[in-house]
């Protein structure tokens, strides 16, 4: 890990064949569900990539599937505690109760400061709730042993609002990071990362450092990194903030297809035009409270 610049060779089968998606639903029957994309060439996602994007079955011994809600909040509240200690600040989230089932899609909407990023940080296990109960992928987070959380977090993909790419790693290595942390073999990593970079249109920038990329390119690297590990839950915080309309639509194709093969997707956005073009269930926050979607 951390090679200054990765040397890669494209696999002969890595051309963007927009073919059948053979997805097995997470925790499902194991049956194949071919989905045809040949008449939608701009979906651009290779068949092999889509197969690998399917969520893995729930076979992690420590984490048992308990109910059909992928995400469940019951009276959840959050107050940030100052890093230096002292009195916790005001509640930035309060009384949040809602479920998002496995394979669900939710927009997360609300004005600036409403608490969207804070809610996504809770769902990504970056902070713990100060009130209520939070269940993620069947694990009640408040009662989970600390050592169980990294494995749980590896099943969650996150596109950060501010990208959070590692500045000393090239695009390829940034995307490869979650796979390497998960201990995947380098051969498999190369195939997945190459195909994911191709999908986001950055195959020629694989060896560029974040500082050498435009804002939109950095955002696409962040998207590739969040998705490459085939998460069961994908959280995206303003993922189109730096994308043009074509790239934003391309992202929506990816999100829809991930969602269709069983990934639960939650997308925070201010992009009203995008939401209008892709109407869906929405969680609406205002001042840390849920106005709709609970």
Report in angstroms the alpha-carbon separations of 14 from 140, 194, 256.
39, 8, 22
The torsion angles phi and psi of 90, rounded to 5 degrees, stand at -65, 160
Q: Which two tokens stand for residue 37?
A: 């994309």
Sites for Mg ion among residues 173-192 (CB under 5 A): none
Q: How far is the C-alpha of 210 from the C-alpha of 217, rounded, in Å?
A: 9
**Nearest residue (CB) to ligand ATP, 124 versus 154:** 124
Other CB atoms within 10 Å distance of the CB of residue 72 = 20
- Residues 125-164, mask of contacts with ligand ATP (x by CB under 6 A): ------------------------------------x---
Sites for Mg ion among residues 203-262 (CB under 5 A): none
Residue 174's binding partner, choosing from ligand ATP, Mg ion, none, with beta-carbon cut-off 5 to 8 A by kind?
none
Q: Please, what is the minimum distance in Å from the beta carbon of residue 127 to ligand ATP?
A: 8
> Which of 40-48, 114-122, 163-171, 209-217 is the region at the interface with ligand ATP (rule: CB under 6 A)?
114-122
Report in angstroms the alpha-carbon separations of 224 from 126, 171, 282.
20, 10, 24
**Nearest residue (CB) to Mg ion, 78 versus 170:** 78
Beta-sheet pairing, 282-286 with 105-109: parallel
State the number of CA atoms in the 13 A half-sphere of 267 facing the CB. Answer: 29
**Nearest residue (CB) to Mg ion, 241 versus 280:** 241
Q: In the set 112, 146, 185, 187, which binds ligand ATP (CB under 6 A)? A: 112
Q: Please, what is the minimum distance in Å from the beta carbon of residue 290 to Mg ion?
A: 16
Q: Which two tokens stand for residue 259?
A: 């969602």
21 binds ligand ATP (CB under 6 A): no
> Which of 53-61, 108-116, 150-158, 182-190 is the region at the interface with ligand ATP (rule: CB under 6 A)?
108-116
Give the closest residue to 266 by CA, choosing from 233, 294, 289, 291. Answer: 233
Q: How many residues does the chain have?
A: 294
> Which of 110-118, 137-145, 176-184, 274-282 is the region at the interface with ligand ATP (rule: CB under 6 A)?
110-118
Q: How far is the C-alpha of 35 from the C-alpha of 283, rounded, in Å?
A: 29
Q: How far is the C-alpha of 268 from the C-alpha of 283, rounded, in Å?
A: 9
Other CB atoms within 10 Å distance of the CB of residue 153 = 19
Q: In the set 49, 117, 203, 269, which binds ligand ATP (CB under 6 A)? A: 117
115 binds ligand ATP (CB under 6 A): yes
- Residues 115-134, mask of contacts with Mg ion (x by CB under 5 A): -xx-----------------
Q: How far is the C-alpha of 182 from the C-alpha of 184, rounded, in Å?
A: 6
**Nearest residue (CB) to Mg ion, 115 versus 132:** 115
Which residue in the block uniquely carries the two structure tokens 């109910």?
67
The torsion angles phi and psi of 20, rounded to 5 degrees, stand at -80, 140
**Nearest residue (CB) to ligand ATP, 34 versus 88:** 88
Sites for ligand ATP among residues 75-104 (CB under 6 A): 80, 89, 92
**Nearest residue (CB) to Mg ion, 117 versus 174:** 117
What is the contact surface with Mg ion in residues (CB under 5 A)? Answer: 116-117, 161
What is the contact surface with ligand ATP in residues (CB under 6 A)? Answer: 80, 89, 92, 110, 112-118, 161
């Amino acid at each position: 890990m951390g090679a200054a610049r990765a040397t890669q060779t494209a696999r002969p089968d890595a051309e963007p064949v927009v073919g059948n998606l053979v997805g097995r639903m997470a925790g499902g029957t194991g049956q194949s569900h071919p989905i045809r994309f040949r008449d939608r060439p701009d979906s651009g996602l290779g068949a092999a990539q889509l197969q690998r994007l399917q969520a893995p079955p729930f076979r992690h011994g420590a984490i048992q599937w308990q109910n059909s809600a992928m995400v469940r909040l019951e009276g959840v509240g959050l107050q940030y505690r100052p890093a230096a200690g002292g009195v916790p600040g005001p509640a930035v989230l309060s009384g949040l109760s809602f479920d998002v089932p496995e394979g669900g899609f939710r927009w997360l909407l609300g004005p600036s400061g409403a608490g969207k990023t804070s809610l996504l940080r809770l769902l990504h296990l970056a902070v713990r709730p100060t009130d209520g109960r939070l269940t993620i992928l069947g694990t009640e987070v408040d009662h989970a042993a600390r050592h169980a959380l990294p494995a749980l977090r590896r099943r969650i993909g996150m596109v950060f609002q501010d990208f959070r790419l590692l500045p000393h790693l090239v695009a390829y290595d940034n995307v490869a990071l979650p796979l390497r942390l998960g201990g995947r073999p380098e051969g498999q990593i190369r195939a997945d990362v190459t195909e994911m970079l191709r999908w986001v249109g950055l195959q020629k920038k694989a060896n560029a450092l974040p500082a050498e990329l435009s804002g939109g390119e950095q955002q696409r690297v962040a998207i590739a990194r969040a998705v490459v590990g085939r998460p069961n839950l994908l959280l995206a915080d303003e993922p189109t903030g730096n994308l043009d309309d074509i790239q934003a639509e391309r992202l929506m194709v990816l999100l829809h297809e991930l969602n269709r093969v069983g990934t639960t997707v939650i997308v925070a956005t201010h992009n009203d035009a995008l939401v209008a073009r892709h109407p869906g269930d929405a969680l609406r926050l205002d001042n840390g409270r849920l106005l709709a979607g609970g």
